[in-house]
């Protein structure tokens, strides 16, 4: 196995009624940890690079090339995905670099602007054979769509997909980015209604898979309910970042003379690999 497109991973998971983990790359160590997790669980994984991550590294190319190289050496199917790109030119760059899937995030735009811009970006992705995800409902973490009662409307979701031609859709159903506890309450009934609304309207007549952003704040049993109700792609970042950071703190606290960064990054990488492997099995309903 090796680098694959998110398209085939999403189709396979959606067809099986299971979920697939999409985990954010922060730096080289997390990319290595996530591939290790995939190999331990013997399950596919999607490695995501966000716009914020690209900006942190001074551009998409350095971290993008490194992540693609790690994915190509994997023993399991691994896809590389651009996450939360609010700049259309970043989507174009990801396509040029060889990413198999991209997400254009127009969630902060008003509905008509979101439709127009997303449709334009989606057309370029389709022309390049690249899978494209979009967002409706602003799955953020600073109020917005996550103020009480704000959710993605199923009828609007269907109209949005039909107008833009995207392949998958991130929806607001109660999760929120950057949560440090796992207390988010998801609207499971709404997930089912969104799944039904997006049935059979894909470009080849298939269903449009749903994407859950902000899954770090959602408890295991609730994620399982969400997958069974129709969620396919489960995005996680903050939760795994916590494992990485805690392992570093423990290593440094145990040896105040430790200066070789490899000696504290290695246990951090291991901690992420173990937890990510567990989550991949959970999302695939193997340990539910």
Q: Is 239 annotated as a binding residue?
A: no
The answer to whether the beta carbons of residues 108 and 138 sit under 8 Å apart is: yes
Separation CA 251–CA 262 (nearest Å): 11
Residue 83 annotated as catalytic: yes
Domain of 84? 6-283
Full pLDDT tens readout for the chain, 288 residues: 589 999 999 999 999 999 999 999 999 999 999 999 999 999 999 999 999 999 999 999 999 999 999 999 999 999 999 999 999 999 999 999 999 999 999 878 888 898 999 999 999 999 999 999 998 865 444 344 444 457 888 999 999 999 999 999 999 886 455 444 454 567 899 999 999 999 988 877 689 999 998 776 678 888 999 999 999 999 999 899 999 999 999 999 999 999 999 999 999 999 999 999 999 999 999 965
Look at residue 250 and tell me if it is in a domain: yes
Q: Calculate the CA 132 to chain-centre distance.
A: 12
Alpha carbon distances (Å) from 88 to 16, 92, 254: 32, 7, 46
Query: Tokens in use for 181?
Result: 């506890």
Q: Is 105 annotated as a binding residue?
A: yes
User: Which CATH number characterizes residue 278's domain?
Assistant: 3.20.20.70
- Among candidate residues 55, 83, 92, 155, the one labeled active-site is 83
Q: Is 146 annotated as a binding residue?
A: no
Percent helix, strand and coil across the chain, each rounded to 5? 50, 15, 35
Look at residue 195 and tell me if it is in a domain: yes
The number of domains in the chain is: 1
Look at residue 288 and tell me if it is in a domain: no
Q: What is the pTM of this model?
A: 0.92
Look at residue 14 and tell me if it is in a domain: yes
Separation CA 87–CA 104 (nearest Å): 8
Separation CA 83–CA 47 (nearest Å): 9
The full DSSP string for 178-243 is T-SSS-----HHHHHHHHHHTTT-STTS----EEE--GGGS-HHHHHHHHHHTEEEEEE-HHHHHH
Look at residue 1 and tell me if it is in a domain: no
What are the backbone angles phi and psi of residue 132, rounded to the nearest 5°?
Answer: -130, 135
């Amino acid at each position: 196995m090796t680098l694959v497109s998110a398209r085939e991973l999403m189709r396979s998971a959606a067809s099986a009624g299971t979920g697939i983990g999409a985990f954010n790359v922060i730096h080289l160590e997390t990319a290595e940890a996530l591939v290790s997790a995939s190999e331990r669980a013997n399950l596919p994984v999607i490695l995501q690079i966000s716009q914020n991550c690209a900006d942190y590294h001074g551009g998409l190319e350095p971290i993008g090339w490194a992540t693609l190289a790690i994915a190509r050496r994997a023993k399991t199917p691994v896809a590389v995905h651009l996450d939360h790109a609010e700049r259309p030119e970043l989507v174009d760059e990801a396509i040029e670099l060889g990413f198999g899937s991209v997400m254009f995030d127009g969630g902060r735009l008003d509905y008509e602007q979101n439709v127009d811009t997303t449709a334009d970006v989606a057309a370029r992705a389709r022309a390049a054979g690249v899978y494209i995800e979009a967002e409706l409902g602003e799955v953020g973490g600073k109020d917005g769509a996550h103020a009480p009662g704000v959710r993605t409307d199923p009828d609007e979701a269907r109209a949005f997909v039909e107008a833009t031609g995207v392949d998958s859709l991130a929806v607001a159903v109660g999760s929120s980015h950057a949560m440090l506890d796992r207390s988010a309450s998801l609207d499971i009934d709404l997930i089912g209604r969104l799944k039904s609304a997006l049935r059979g309207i894909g470009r080849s007549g298939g269903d449009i898979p749903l994407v859950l952003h902000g899954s770090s704040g959602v408890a295991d049993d609730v994620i399982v309910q969400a997958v069974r109700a129709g969620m396919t792609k489960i995005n996680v970042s903050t939760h795994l970042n916590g494992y990485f950071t805690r392992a570093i703190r423990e290593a440094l606290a145990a040896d105040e003379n430790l200066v070789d960064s490899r000696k504290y990054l290695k246990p951090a990488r291991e901690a992420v690999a173990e937890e990510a492997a567990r989550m991949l099995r959970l999302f695939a309903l193997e340990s539910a």
